[in-house]
Amino acid sequence: MKYVNKLVVAALIGSGSLLANGMALAADGATLYKTKTCVACHGADGKAPVLPSYPRLAGQNAAYALQQMKDIKSGARNNGQTAAMKPVMHLVSDAEMQAIADWLATLK
């Protein structure tokens, strides 16, 4: 009986962490997009920018989007409009920008 209990517990822990890992991976970019304030300007799912002059992000290829994020963060890309976004970019690491870019690329 003890043995069976241990097996059940092990199976529960095992499947629980697998599930949690899978969900974390799937949710990452989408969650970061909301928690790191991107949604405030670029709108739900990168499709509804708050101002007509702000870019839509949904469906953009990941390599391009990631490079733009990095350039806006570093100041390499700098014009009147990037000034709006630059102040929030300290909130995201390279890995987080990558996760957001990968997620944006999956949107239609």
User: Nearest distance from residue 68's CB to ligand HEC, in Å?
Assistant: 4
Instruction: Quote the CA–CA distance of 35 and 21 in Å, as a whole number.
Output: 19
Binding-site string for ligand HEC from residue 45 to residue 64, where x marks contact by CB under 6 A and - marks none: ---------xx-x--x----
Contact 61, 105 (CB under 8 A): yes
Residue with tokens 């241990």: 6
Number of helical (H) and strand (E) elements in the chain, helices listed first: 5, 0
User: Nearest distance from residue 54's CB to ligand HEC, in Å?
Assistant: 5
C-beta closer to ligand HEC: residue 19 or 91:
91
DSSP 56: P
DSSP 55: P
Indicate whether 98 belongs to the interface with ligand HEC (CB under 6 A): no
* Coil/strand/helix, residue 37: coil
Indicate whether 36 belongs to the interface with ligand HEC (CB under 6 A): yes
Indicate whether 68 belongs to the interface with ligand HEC (CB under 6 A): yes
Residues engaged in binding ligand HEC (CB under 6 A): 36-38, 40-42, 54-55, 57, 60, 65, 68-69, 77, 79, 81-82, 84-85, 88, 92, 100
